Structures are given as structure tokens and as C-alpha cells.
Amino acid sequence: MARKKNIKFLTFLKIPFYIFIAWALGFALFFIRLPEPDRDGKLSAEAVVVLTGGGGRLKAGVALLKEGRSKLMLVSGVHENVRPHELILLTGAEAALFDCCVTLDYKATNTLGNAVETAKWVEARNITSIFLVTADYHVQRSVVLFRKSLPGVTIVPFPVKTRMPLFKLAKEYNKYLATLIFDFVGY
């Protein structure tokens, strides 16, 4: 009788081990699949959507406009205290480029909010394709959320290369897993 309890207990202990192995394999796949920036410059889209929160994103978005690969840009998740002239100085872009082509979204406070606000902006302008500019570690989760909010819109991921510490990358992977689960159950 005691032997059966020991076997059941040992089997029960294996479950967390198997969960950890599955998580670790998934994390390795996530890491391997971190996208590389578009180096050839052949891709284009009607608009650029830049998600705030990391260095290099805004400059990458402005570069897409300057190169003529897009005509409009939404900067989503801008802090309420930031003004357009500050972004102009930060990017080195001309004020005329911002005046004609750049919209600032002050409402979004997270990635889901970015997707929702972008959907409103895209619908109002009848846009059918966007560059999604965000950090390389953030692309996979962002694409899942944006595809759900923008059905029928072509989303071209445009990653900005980062150097993320492993524990922060693991945190992003956990958020990605949660996003996939919520997407799967229809939340």
C-alpha cells in the first residue's frame, strides 16, 4: 500500500518537471524565432505603426517614411506629456514630415491598447497594410494581438534589434504564452 502511494507521489512530482521541460523548449523556440530587421528594404506597406517603449523604434518608423516605403505613421502609446516637437528633435525628422504624415496616439497604455487604437486609426483611413515597428522580442506577441484586432489587414513585422537580458526575455515569453492561451480560448 505504501509503495503505491510512493509511486503516485513520484508520478505527481514528474508533472512540474514535464511542464518545465515544455516551457524551456518553447522558450528556446521563441528565442530562435526572434525576427531579424529587414535589411534589403524591399518591403512596403501603406502605413507604419510604431509601438512606443524602446529605443530605436521611432527612428525606424521615420526612416520607413523617409525611404518612401510608407506614407503615413501612427505612433501608439505616446505618454501624455510628450509633444510632437520633442519627437521631431529625437528623430531628426523635418517638422513637415510630422505635420503631414504622423499621428500620435495618447490613449494606448499597453500592447492590447496599441492594437485597439491602431484598429480605429486604420479603419478611419481604409488602410490595408501596415509595418508594425517594435522591439524584436516584442514582435511575436504584438503580431498575435494585432492580427486579432486588424482582420484583413496585412501586418508586416518590422523588428528593432535589442539586447535583452535573458530573464526579461523569459518574462516576455511568459506574456507571449498568456496571449496565445487567451487567443486560443477566445478571450
Residue 86's pLDDT band (boundaries 50, 70, 90)?
very high
What pLDDT, on the 0 to 100 scale, is given for residue 13?
A: 73
Secondary structure class of 54 (helix, strand, coil): coil
pLDDT surpasses 70 at 49: yes
Q: Residue 115 has what pLDDT? A: 97
pLDDT in tens, 119-130: 999 999 999 999
User: Model pTM?
Assistant: 0.88
Mean pLDDT within 94-119: 95
More confident of the two residues 9 and 48: 48
Taking residue 86's Cβ as centre, other Cβ atoms within 10 Å add up to 11
By residue count, the chain amounts to 187
Give the separation between CA 1 and CA 15, rounded to whole angstroms: 22
Tens of pLDDT, residues 140-171? 999 999 999 999 999 999 999 998 899 999 99
Whether the pLDDT of residue 118 is over 60: the answer is yes
User: Where does the pLDDT of residue 35 fall: very low under 50, low under 70, confident under 90, or very high at 90 and above?
Assistant: confident
Q: Among residues 91, 98, 85, which one has the least CA distance to residue 55?
A: 91
